[in-house]
Structure 1
Amino acid sequence: MAEILRNVQLHETARFRIIDAKGQVVGRLASQIATSLMGKDKPTWRPHVDCGDVVVVVNSRHVELTRNKWDQKTYKWHTGYMGGLKERKAKDEHSRDPTSVLRKAVLRMLPKTRLQKKWARKLRIFPDEQHEFSGKVDLVPLEMPPRNLRFNWRKHAVGELPEGHEPVNPEVYWRKRNLFLNHIARQEAQVAMMERRLKRLAAEEERLAAEEERRPTTE
Structure 2
Amino acid sequence: MSKGTTHSATRAEALNGRKWWVVDATDLTVGRAATRIASILKGKHKPAYTPSMDTGDFVVVVNAGKVRFTGNKETDKVFFTHTMHPGGAKQTPMNKLRERHPEQIIENAVRRMLPRNNLGRQMLAKLKVYAGDTHPHAAQKPEALSLAQ
TM class by shorter chain equals: 0.7 to 0.9
Distance 1:16 1:67 in 2: 32
The amino acid that maps onto 2:15 is: H
Give the aligned partner of residue 139 of structure 1.
142
The amino acid that maps onto 1:140 is: E
The amino acid that maps onto 1:121 is: A
Distance 1:145 1:111 in 2: 25
> 1:14 is matched with which residue: 15, 18, 41?
18
Distance 1:109 1:99 in 2: 16
Q: Counterpart of 1:29 in 2: which secondary structure?
A: helix
Q: Whose Rg is larger? A: 1
CA contact (8 A) 2:25 2:64 kept: yes
Q: CA deviation at 1:143?
A: 2.1
The amino acid that maps onto 1:120 is: L
Q: What are the ranges of 5 or more consecutive residues in structure 2 without an aligned counterpart?
A: 1-13
Distance 1:87 1:22 in 2: 26
Give the aligned partner of residue 30 of structure 1.
34
Q: CA deviation at 1:145?
A: 5.9
Distance 1:14 1:35 in 2: 14
Please state which structure has a larger fraction of its residues in helix: 1
What aligned pairs does 1:44-193 form with structure 2 within 5 A after superposition?
44-134=48-138, 136-144=139-147, 146=149
Query: What count of residue pairs does the alignment treat as equivalent?
Result: 136
Distance 2:31 2:61 in 1: 14
Distance 2:80 2:141 in 1: 38
Distance 1:68 1:120 in 2: 28
Distance 1:118 1:104 in 2: 15
**Taking every aligned residue pair, what percent have the same amino acid on both sides?**
33
Give the TM-score normalised by structure 2: 0.86
Relative contact order, higher structure (CA 8 A, sep 6+): 2
Q: Counterpart of 1:11 in 2: which secondary structure?
A: helix
Give the TM-score normalised by structure 1: 0.60
Give the aligned partner of residue 198 of structure 1.
none
Distance 1:144 1:130 in 2: 18
Q: Counterpart of 1:91 in 2: which secondary structure?
A: helix
Q: Counterpart of 1:131 in 2: which secondary structure?
A: coil
Distance 2:28 2:148 in 1: 11
Give the aligned partner of residue 180 of structure 1.
none
Check 1:50–1:64 CA distance in 2 against 1; reply closer, same or farther (3 A cut): same
RMSD: 1.3
Q: Counterpart of 1:14 in 2: which secondary structure?
A: coil
Structure 1 ranges of 4+ moved more than 6 A: none
Q: Counterpart of 2:15 in 1: which secondary structure?
A: coil
